Amino acid sequence: MGSPVYIQIHNEIKKAIEAGKWSVGDRIPSERELAVQFHVSRMTLRQAIQTLVEEGILERFVGSGTFVANQKVQEKMSGVTGFTDLMLAQGKKPSSKTISYHVMSPSLSESEKLELKDDTQVLRMERVRYGDDVPISFEVATIPLEIVDGLSKQEVSESLYRTLETKKGLVPGHAKQMVSASSASERIAEFLDIKRGDAILRLRQISYLQDGRPFEYVRTQYVGERFEFVLEK
Amino acid sequence: MGSPVYIQIHNEIKKAIEAGKWSVGDRIPSERELAVQFHVSRMTLRQAIQTLVEEGILERFVGSGTFVANQKVQEKMSGVTGFTDLMLAQGKKPSSKTISYHVMSPSLSESEKLELKDDTQVLRMERVRYGDDVPISFEVATIPLEIVDGLSKQEVSESLYRTLETKKGLVPGHAKQMVSASSASERIAEFLDIKRGDAILRLRQISYLQDGRPFEYVRTQYVGERFEFVLEK
DNA sequence: ATTATATACTGGTATAGACCATGTTGCAAG
DNA sequence: CTTGCAACATGGTCTATACCAGTATATAAT
């Protein structure tokens, strides 16, 4: 395998816990013991443990040892879904109007967030999203071309998340979102049928596949008065 | 000093950045150079850098170097914490000004969200929150009286979450949040040192104890330009 | 001037040891 | 039996060194 040793050990320990070798509250062997078992130095073994601690899977106590932590509800978080499911869950009819749809070279910011190689092309599309025919948001989605390879414009535009799962078996893993408030520009206001300067909920989202690869970067501007973001933590 | 060397170096680098020795985007000296300067091994120096990277103060790029990151006030979804810890995690000095502090009968909405009996009284306080003396948010917190029973105004106002944990052993379990965008009213704008109509990030949060009882209902209005809400799901 | 290539430099990974402070445990003294 | 203490185990910190895979830059070839 090509990945660093400490990642490999990380995975092996994780699998062992999932397989039931150690249960919640159990003490796992000491760092020195594990280092011998895995034929690595203690520092390298510690690095593997470190990442597991950061994931909340293990806990360390000086003098006592390293224990399997009781798992939080973290992964129970509402799954990563797209606009379509979001609207349907609210009993609203989802629809959208595609404003633009182009294959192009990514901006520096996009390239960075999607972790792209230099020569990679992306699909960028601007859409206005509606719930029960009332404009809810304006969004700019950027997707690496390879992800949507072989899919029709219709499939990509209508419901990317559903299409990726059914056609390619690609399931989103997690997403990172940044939320802030702003005010609408002239152009956006027109699309959303509001006045320039009206309150806008700005959301930038990077969605990752289960293997950790980013596959979509979306900048969304929601109409402040028509949208509310609910989350539990 | 008693603390580990890497923590001391962490603090020195942090202070140097705050003092303006390096600005956002600047490249700081390489790990090897800094290790010599601080008279420590490169591994120890790396540990100092590591903690700064985790705080979002620095960014590392292989082959290029280590750079001062663009700092933002942002909330990480890692845990349910109060304003104090949020600010400290960002290396900012938290402070607040209490606008009002009264015991009263809850509104219908508050009573509902806090699942209160008819005759229960609540504590309601309005506060302006600051990070490094810059106003970040205006919030209205409503707490059942029994929760803060026996606590001083000082303790409740300064850092409720910390006080509850240390004095009463009460630890927040989860929270439900609703986010939307709005614009600042005249009164709020004055508190936050912005103009009326400026973009506001509105957040309503219900916090629950680990046994599921709601213990706090907070309505917060963040300055759109000074706050960003980051979450992973 | 442009383009290819070699070289130096960067952070990332890994080793094998060392000492520390704290927690645990077993044994001796009461 | 309980108490106190010593020995041991554990994670935390630190060193000095080495090699790797990317990035940047100076140099050589075109």
Q: Dump pLDDT digits (tens) for A75-84.
A: 223 344 556 5
From the number of C-beta atoms within 10 Å of its C-beta (0-12, 13-18, 19+), residue B195 rates as: exposed
The last residue of a domain, from among B68, B91, B122: B68
Flag whether pLDDT at B98 surpasses 90.
no
| Helix or strand (DSSP H, E) at B17 | helix B5-18
Q: Is B231 in contact with A182 (Cβ distance < 8 A)?
A: no
Q: What share of chain A is helix, strand, coil (3-state, %, to 5)?
A: 30, 35, 35
Q: What is the mean pLDDT of residues B106-134?
A: 80
pLDDT at B138 over 70: yes
Q: Specify whether B40 is located in the same domain as B147.
A: no
Check whether residue B91 and residue B205 sit in a common domain.
yes
- Identify the closest residue of chain B to A79 by CA–CA distance: B233
Q: Are A47 and A128 in a shared domain? A: no
Measure the CA angle with vertex A209, ends A181 and A142; round to 5°: 50
Residues of chain A contacting B79 with CB distance shorter than 8 Å: 233
Average pLDDT value for residue range B106-124:
80
Is the per-residue pLDDT at B79 higher than 50? no
Bases of chain C below 7 A from a protein C-beta are 9-18, 21-24
Yes or no, beta carbons of B224 and A175 under 8 Å apart? no
pLDDT of A86 strictly over 70: no
> What per-residue confidence (pLDDT) applies to A42?
96
Q: Is the CB of A60 under 7 A from strand D?
A: yes
* Residue B165 DSSP one-character state: I
Q: Average pLDDT for residues A126-143, to the nearest whole number?
A: 83
Residues A83 and A172 in one domain: yes
pLDDT more than 70, % of chain B: 77
A200 near A180, Cβ under 8 Å?
no
Average pLDDT of every residue of chain A: 77
Based on the domain organization, do B163 and B199 belong to the same domain? yes
- Tell me if residue A172 falls in helix, strand or coil: strand
Q: Name the range with the highest mean pLDDT among A112-126, A181-195, A206-220, B11-25.
A: B11-25
Domain residue limits at B51? 5-68
Nucleotide of closest approach to B7 (CA, C1'): D13
- The reply to whether A34 and A16 lie within a common domain is yes
Q: Indicate the number of domains in chain A.
A: 2
Q: Give the CA diameter of chain A.
A: 67
Cβ atoms of B47 and B40 within 8 Å: the answer is no
Residue A217 pLDDT level (bands cut at 50, 70, 90)? confident
| Residue-level pLDDT at B232 | 54
**Alpha-carbon torsion (B15, B19, B23, B28), positive or negative:** negative
Domain boundary among B22, B53, B68: B68
In the 9-48 segment of chain B, residues within 7 Å (Cβ) of strand D are 39-44, 47
Q: Is residue A175 part of a domain?
A: yes
- What does the pLDDT read at residue B77? 39
CATH code of the domain covering residue B54: 1.10.10.10
d(CA A208, CA A88): 23
Task: Give the bridge partners for A206, in sequence order.
Answer: A176, A217
Do the Cβ atoms of A230 and B178 come within 8 Å?
A: yes
- Contact flag, residue A229 CB and nucleic strand D, below 7 A: no
User: Which chain B residues have a beta carbon less than 8 Å from that of A197?
Assistant: 197
Of A80, A199, A229, the CB nearest to B183: A199
pLDDT at A76: 26
Chain A residues in contact with B183 by the CB 8 A cut-off are 183, 198-199, 224
The winner for highest mean pLDDT among A29-38, B97-106, B108-117 is A29-38
**Percent of chain B clearing pLDDT 90 (strictly above):** 14
Domain boundary among B43, B68, B93: B68
Position with higher pLDDT, A31 vs A3 = A31
Residues of A within 8 A of B231 (CB-CB) are 176-177, 179, 231, 233
Question: Closest approach of chain A CAs to the CA of B128, in angstroms?
Answer: 18
A25-74 pLDDT per residue, tens: 889 999 999 999 999 999 999 999 988 887 778 889 888 899 987 653 32
Which candidate from B77, B198, B202 shows the least CB-CB separation from A233? B77
Region A155-165: mean pLDDT is: 73
**pLDDT at residue B9 greater than cutoff 90:** yes
Label residue B83 by pLDDT band (50, 70, 90): low
The pLDDT of A143-170, averaged and rounded, is 76
Residue tagged 């633009």 (tokens) = A100
Q: Where are the alpha helices (DSSP H) in chain A?
A: 5-18, 31-37, 42-54, 83-89, 108-113, 153-168, 186-192
B171 & B140 share domain: yes
pLDDT, residue A70, reads: 62
CA dihedral of residues B52, B54, B60, B65 (deg, nearest 10): 10
What is the arithmetic mean of pLDDT over A90-103?
A: 74
CB A160 within 8 A of CB A216: yes
User: Are residues B103 and B121 in contact, defined by beta-carbon separation less than 8 angstroms?
Assistant: yes
Q: How far is CA B8 from the centre of its chain?
A: 24
Answer yes or no: do B63 and B80 share one domain. Answer: no
Percent of residues, chain A, with pLDDT higher than 90: 15
What angle, rounded to 10 degrees, do the helices at A5-18 and A42-54 form?
60
Mutation target vs B (from A81, A136, A179, A183; most B CBs, 10 A cutoff):
A179
Per the structure block, which two tokens stand in for B164?
Answer: 């509850």
Q: Is A165 inside a domain boundary?
A: yes
Asked whether residue B57 falls in the same domain as residue B83, the answer is no
Dist CA B233 CA B231 (whole Å)? 7
Report the alpha-carbon distance of residue B188 to residue B221 in Å, rounded: 8
The ipTM is 0.50
Residue A185 lies in a domain: yes
Q: Are residues A62 and A36 in the same domain?
A: yes
* Residue B142, strand partner residues: B124, B217
CA–CA separation, B5 vs B94, rounded Å? 27
Domain CATH code at residue B137:
3.40.1410.10
**According to the model, what pLDDT value does residue A41 have?**
95
Q: Same domain, yes or no, for A137 and A202?
A: yes
Residues B33 and B108 in one domain: no
